[in-house]
Amino acid sequence: MSLAIPFLPATVLQSADVAGRRKPEGVRLAEDEWGRLMSAAQAGNGGAYRRLLADLTVWLGRYFARRLPAGEVDDAVQETLLAVHRNRHTYDPAYPLGPWLGAIAKRKWIDQLRALERRSAEMLTDTIATPDHEAAITSATVLSSLMSQLRPAQSQVILLVKVQGYSIQDASRETGQSVSAVKVNIHRGLGRLTNLVSKTNDVE
C-alpha cells in the first residue's frame, strides 16, 4: 500500500507481513484502506478496484520477490490477482483485508513452488538471461536440506518465527502448538541445526 501512505518507509512495508504478525500503525491504516477499496469493488466500483489491484501488485511483488526466483514473480503476482478477483465475494469488510490477502498469497506461493518442483526436471537452454540468484538459491537449498532433518514441528516453527518473522504467539496460533512448545521446539531445533552445520565440512 505504498501508494496510499507515502510517509511510510518502504522498508517498513517490506518487512510487514499481512498474515497476522503484529504490524506498524501505518500498515494497519493501509490495510483499512484496502478493505474500504475492496468493499467498494464488491459494490461494482471499477476505479476503486483498479486502485486496489495496483496497490496489491506492489505488495505482492515484494512478497514474492523474497520467496520465488525472479522469473516467477510476475506469474505469481498475476495468479494471486486472479484469485483475489475470483474470490472477492468471500472478503468480509468487517475484517482487515491483510490476513485475507496474505492467506491467498501464501497459497499461491505454495502452488508456484509445486509448479517449480514439477518443472525442475525440464531442460533449460543456456541463452536465458537472468540476474544471478546463485547465492540465494544455494542458501535456500542448504536451509531446506538442513530443515528436512529436523522434526516437522521444529522446522515449521523455525521457518515461521526465524525466517518469516512471525511472533511466538502467531506461530503458536498458526501451528496449533502451545506457546511454550513453540519456544522449546525453536530452541531444540536451532540446537540441532547448529550440530548439523558443525558436523558438515562444506555446506555449499
Q: Which residues bind other proteins (CB under 8 A)?
A: 19, 41-46, 49-50, 53-54, 57, 74, 77-78, 81-83, 85-92, 99-104, 106-108, 173-176
Question: Distances in Å between the alpha carbon of 122 and those of 88, 115, 116, 117, 136?
Answer: 35, 12, 10, 10, 21
In the complex with other proteins, the residue whose CB is nearer, 45 or 167, is 45
90 or 201: CB nearest other proteins: 90
For other proteins, which is the closer residue by CB, 82 or 116? 82
Nearest distance from C-beta of residue 59 to other proteins, angstroms: 12
Quote the cell numbers at residue 16: 510487514
Beta carbon of residue 15, minimum distance to other proteins (angstroms, whole number): 20
Q: Give min distance, CB of 58 to other proteins, in A.
A: 9
Q: Mind giving me the DSSP string for 100-165?
A: HHHHHHHHHHHHHHHHHHHHTTS---TT------HHHHHHHHHHHHHHTTS-HHHHHHHIIIIIS-
Of 115, 89, 111, nearest in space to 100 by CA: 89
Are 26 and 8 a contacting pair, CB within 8 Å? yes
Choose between 79 and 193: whose C-beta lies nearer to other proteins: 79
Q: Rounded to the nearest whole angstrom, what is the least distance from the CB of residue 192 to other proteins in the complex?
A: 25
Least distance to other proteins, CB of residue 46, Å? 4
Q: Which amino acid is at 194?
A: T
Q: Which is nearer to other proteins, 9 or 152 (CB)?
A: 152
